[in-house]
Amino acid sequence: MPTYDYECDACGHLFELFQGINDPIKRKCPECKKLKLRRLFGTGAAILFKGSGFYETDYRSDSYKSDAKKASSAETKSKSDTSSSKKSSKKSDSKSSSSDSSSGSSSGSSKS
Domain definitions of the chain by residue range = 3-39
Q: CB-based contacts of 13: which residues, under 8 Å, 6+ apart?
A: 7, 29, 30, 31, 32
Output the pLDDT for position 21: 83
Residue 97 predicted with pLDDT over 90: no
Average pLDDT in the chain: 74
End-to-end CA distance of the chain: 98
Q: For 49-86, write each residue's pLDDT tens digit.
A: 777 766 666 667 778 778 888 888 887 777 666 655 55
Q: For 15-25, write each residue's pLDDT tens digit.
A: 998 888 899 99
Instruction: For residue 37, count CB atoms less than 10 angstroms from its CB and return exposed for 0-12, middle for 13-18, buried for 19 or more.
Output: buried
Output the pLDDT for position 32: 95
